[in-house]
Structure 1
């Protein structure tokens, strides 16, 4: 059976990628990263999603705690507040303060290593360039360049073997993502998207508002609890 590494955060997008990869006939190899994020509770969600798909034995949780030591993001630095939806935060920039420097670049590098070892031919990542919040590492041009580097820097690439980055959600709206996930029976009740990482989603951060808006536009209701909607 063909194999795929899925970068699984425990959130809505990455879990939808799990459903899509399974639907495409891939044997799933999920990988999750603990980078000191304040919403660390999502790691347990990722474990539950992996168990739902019956691949908990192949699920890797990788520690990247140094990203918290570096700081520079509201998701890893407790001294920086997560701004409410529509606000980029205290830094005057088009890139919001919830951007984690180098995160997806690191994730894809490590996922590439896991893919080579397991013999996977695809890496799934739930980046999105439509409803995204201005992150530079969610753009198609970033993915294309990383794929070029993978071909040059790996044994499988040099030997002409297949290894591709799959980004099925990259040009979909959040509503389209949810509609596809509902069609595939993706377990959204096991996921979380809140940047604040509490037992109940805050309903106020960018990630929560995009998720709630997506469910509403998809004609469905979000199955997870919120402090406010």
Structure 2
């Protein structure tokens, strides 16, 4: 990513107001990204390929859940095998996604960096008001576990799903993470091609430690055949 793509960061007070209306906070989202970066840096050359990316993903999911569950009374949700955290009234959920260089730039259109599967297609259709494909409620219930929730078919169709989208790059001696909280609206051939709403977030910078391992072939999004 070149510096010419970087817009001025959004005003934190405006961002906090938008996020507060959704039941989340900027601090939770930035802390989630910090946790992922810290986990990524534990990878060493003898780890299997993709270890750094997997550890970052796992830390993102765990941290975004813990912060919302402990502070806002949200609940863990496995929805079509997407790992999410769900608001108390079950109207909204948040997941994590790796974006491209347009992430966080209000004048550009970001996309997910790697192809995703049927689960992302399902929640995007629900976001657009098309309703989710027929799903087995038992799938949600089986994976809910302690502290988790299971959605009814009605709730699944009405759920609005957002993603904490992030793009990591090395600039000099620092790691820059551009990020936004956004709601996908159109999904085509594995990629989000339109967003219903985007909230660009202030850039997060951390001391630069180059990971010793690549991200592997793709992020975790298990294809599900909804029949």
Q: Give the TM-score normalised by the residue count of structure 2.
A: 0.33
| Structure that is richer in strand per residue | 2
